[in-house]
Amino acid sequence: MPRTAEGRAADALRVPETAPPTESGSAAWPARPSASFHRPGGEGGPRRTRTGLRTGAWAAALGVLLAASVVVAVTIGPAGLSPADVWASVLAHLGIGEPTLSPLRDGIVWQLRMPRVLTAAAVGAGLALCGAVMQALTRNPLADPYLLGLSSGASVGAVLVIVLGIGLVLPLAAFGGALVALVATLALAGAGWGAGGAGGRAGSGGSLTPTRTVLAGLAVSAVFGAVTSLVIFWSATGDSYREILNWLLGSLAGTDWTSVAIAGGAMLLVGLPLIASARTLDAFAFGDTAAAALGVHVGRSRALLLGGTALLTGALVAVSGAIGFVGLILPHAVRFLVGSRHRALLPLSALAGAIFLVWADTGARTLFDPRELPVGILTALIGGPVFAVLMLRNRRLA
């Protein structure tokens, strides 16, 4: 007698929490996050307790490391600041205590370095979070936040305003370009925000499937990339060419408290709801049919999550340019530590991404002093070898 979708989903949920080990001894990607759907009692309760304790320990450790990284990163540079100077400046600007630093040193801390470090933390957290969500939605371990053509669309908007000499609206233009790319990708994929067949059945006509979404994103990226190249070739000269190159390679130079507000606000308004979608993403790991049997409206949920990821990525790209490898590498690194359950993977990926980009940007602005390297170059130099190591450790990913 043929098995129903509900029966197949029930069989899928009885698989172990981690996939069988590969030859290297590590779990093959992606491990099915079945622990999210254990019935109360039996082994599920103790296992969830142990997993929760381990996740909490990692979250606490990464949170402390992030706070320490922010303070220490602000002190690094030719001004010779100390952590006490950083705290003195921060507390004075928060109205706690009297100013003890000279105006020059206070300006270096509060106006130059602190906004840049906080922006790096927010951008790194958002890109890593978006990468983890995209990998789950598309079931593609090579997915990253730019899969929908967002960086290419943002690049068109940024390049146009730089060439026209109205760089003051660059963040707005980059965000607008990213949204145009998103709309084009969703239209080409044949899905709207509420797409999906009746009841959200997987495979229904007009649904937003992973394959169609990836292919549409590649097509949109190619077109927008060609437009960007054409504008640069035809119009960019001198200083505008250097500014365009700096933005395309990804840079946090020139960020201010407005940049902190944009990136941090996007993380609060969009990032937190994405983290709260962990259970839905766990269901997607079993495939669309099983997710629908578990009560997930596949088309609508995928469209909303893709839309939220795109909005967050667009806001981050608007203030930092296209910084690569953060959204691709960090989710895999965290997955090796805590497994594939998104309740742990999403917040820990965000924390790890924030720490990584804080230190990558600190290196980009100090290692080659007095020159400053675009941080996107450094993330690629680090991310490429790290990704090769991950591939060697995980034969299935390779």
Per-residue pLDDT at 46: 63
More confident residue, 351 or 172: 351
Neighbours of 243 (CB within 10 A): 19
**CA atoms of 86 and 79, how far apart (whole Å):** 12
Task: Give the per-residue pLDDT at 189.
Answer: 81
How much is the pLDDT for 208?
A: 64
Residue 144: predicted pLDDT: 86
**Average pLDDT rounded to a whole number, residues 182-196:** 68
Cα 54 to Cα 74, 141, 168, 345, distances in angstroms: 30, 24, 46, 12
* Confidence (pLDDT) at 45: 58
CATH homologous superfamily, domain 62-393: ABC transporter involved in vitamin B12 uptake, BtuC (1.10.3470.10)
Query: What is the predicted pLDDT for the residue at 394?
Result: 63
Average pLDDT over residues 261-286: 93
For the four alpha carbons of 343, 345, 346 and 351, in that order, the dihedral sign comes to positive
> Which residues sit opposite 21 in a β-bridge?
27
Most confident of the following: 19-28, 51-60, 151-160, 235-244: 151-160
Contact 289, 160 (CB under 8 A): no
Mean pLDDT of the chain: 81
Residue with tokens 């602190």: 114
The pLDDT of 146-165, averaged and rounded, is: 87
Locate the domains of the chain by residue range: 62-393
The pLDDT tens digits of the residues spanning 8-45 come to 444 444 433 434 333 333 333 444 444 444 443 444 55
> Highest mean pLDDT: which of 28-32, 38-42, 353-357, 365-369?
353-357
| pLDDT score for 207 | 58
Mean pLDDT score, 312-325: 89
231 class by beta-carbon count within 10 Å (0-12 exposed, 13-18 middle, 19+ buried): middle
- Dist CA 254 CA 247 (whole Å): 11
CA-wise closest residue to 213 among 190, 247, 238:
190
3-state helix, strand, coil in the chain (%, to 5): 70, 0, 30
- With a cut of 50, say whether residue 287 has pLDDT above it: yes
pLDDT category of residue 170 using cuts at 50, 70 and 90: confident
